[in-house]
Amino acid sequence: MQPIDILILSNGPGEISTWVRPVVKSLRQQLGMDVESVRISVVLSPCGHAMGTESDVVRSYPEVNRVQSPEHFFSFLLQGKTAENWDWRNKGIVLFLGGDQFFPVVIGRRLGYQTVIYAEREARWLRWVTRYGVKNQSVVTSVPSHYQSKLTVVGDLMVDIPHLSLLSSRSSPPMIALLPGSKPSKLFQGVPLCLAIAEQISQQFPMVRFVLPVAPTLNLSTLAKFADRQYNPIIETVNWTEAQLFTSDAQTPYFLTSKGLKVELFTQFPAYEMLSLCHFALTTIGANTAELATLGLPFIVLLPIQQLDAMRTWDGIPGILASLPLIGVTMAKIINLIVLAQGRRLYAWPNIWAKQEIVPELLGLLSPADIAQIGIDWLNHPEKLDEIRRQLLQICGEPGAAQKMAQIVTDLVKTQSDS
């Protein structure tokens, strides 16, 4: 086999965990780990949802050989040189897994590489792209017939995570996962709200074990700030719960709340095995709702707006406006008021797929006591959890998108190496 470069373009924290990670694993399963034969590089583009540690997360993937952080992206796009002046092999493939579909067209033509795009909703730049892996048949039918041969339906990468043998075995005593998010805009409200709900549940179920899987883009000291009222003024404003961070080499790090509740902090990523043992989760919106659904883990979606300007997690133009300097706070308040006035819409991925509310979505001035009652009711009536679990697994469909996406790339690699 002639030496081949695979250049992956991606951007945000959701894409690198739910798209890049499973695809690079599948690529190495199909093409092997020999870097002399196949070298995998990842170049990240800027993302409004990024935490700044995405490059470190990708570097932790053993399948990836080189990573460039997003601050160097546009110089690479415009000038064709990486910050470390990487060399490129004569033959290669540019694989798009997040960002703007225009990027692989430019970079692929400059390097003389074939291009592959994963398209969730729309396949663009059809004339200049070699192959597409698409989410569903509707993407195929939306393009002109003479381009449809370039498209292969692979499925949804967001739900393509391992199906574990532990899925039918829940822990005893009950275990509840807290997923407050990974971005400051979510953590300011999410951390103290989740802790407050946990304290409420603990009053009636003192044996419940609470766990918080730490996002790979966060470190413990940063996370702990959002549980500290000296750093996070929302705790004082709405009288939610604060906590102290305790770490030692002898045990799992944990938060200890002001009422003495212990919340264990797990830094292993991904946390699928631990999550599969939980009874349910408290979470914010994002790609994590797709992962939880695939695990068959019931969850409650929290969208608090106690502080209107704190909720700045919207996509597209609203998200850009809410992030602008000086006027961002005002724009965030206006956008959130508009969202509230619009009434019901669905935010969690399994609900969007089902076009109905399988898991509860709570938007507004949230009360920890009221939310805790939902969790308490689920613990008292486990048959309700079983029904939600059944619906989640049913709506997710079959796994295998990452393997199919990797197969498209593998076929091109073999064609190039034989030519």
Which residue bears the tokens 């997923």?
A: 179
Give every CB contact of residue 287 below 8 A, 6+ residues apart in sequence.
Answer: 14, 15, 17, 18, 158, 349
Position 309 scores a pLDDT of 47
Position 217 scores a pLDDT of 84
3-state secondary structure of 149: helix
Burial of 338 from C-beta contacts in 10 A (0-12 / 13-18 / 19+): exposed
Position 254 scores a pLDDT of 96
The pTM is what?
Answer: 0.76
Give every CB contact of residue 83 below 8 A, 6+ residues apart in sequence.
Answer: 68, 69, 72, 75, 76
Position 289 scores a pLDDT of 92
The low-confidence residues of the chain, meaning pLDDT below 50, are: 164-168, 308-312, 315-318, 321
Nearest to 20 by CA among 36, 38, 2, 44: 44
Give every CB contact of residue 267 below 8 A, 6+ residues apart in sequence.
Answer: 214, 220, 253
Position 312 scores a pLDDT of 47
Do 182 and 285 form a contact (C-beta atoms < 8 A)? Answer: no
Position 165 scores a pLDDT of 42
Please count the helices (runs of H) and the strands (runs of E) in the chain: 17, 15
Q: Which amino acid is at 267?
A: T
Position 343 scores a pLDDT of 57
Do 383 and 337 form a contact (C-beta atoms < 8 A)? Answer: no
Domains in the chain, please, with CATH?
A: 4-160+399-418 (3.40.50.2000), 165-304+366-396 (3.40.50.2000)
Can you state the angle between helices 368-380 and 382-396, rounded to 10 degrees? 90
Position 166 scores a pLDDT of 41
Position 194 scores a pLDDT of 97
Position 228 scores a pLDDT of 96
Considering just the CA atoms, what is the radius of gyration of the chain in Å?
22
In tens, the pLDDT along 347-373 reads 899 999 999 999 999 988 899 999 999
Do 399 and 26 form a contact (C-beta atoms < 8 A)? Answer: no
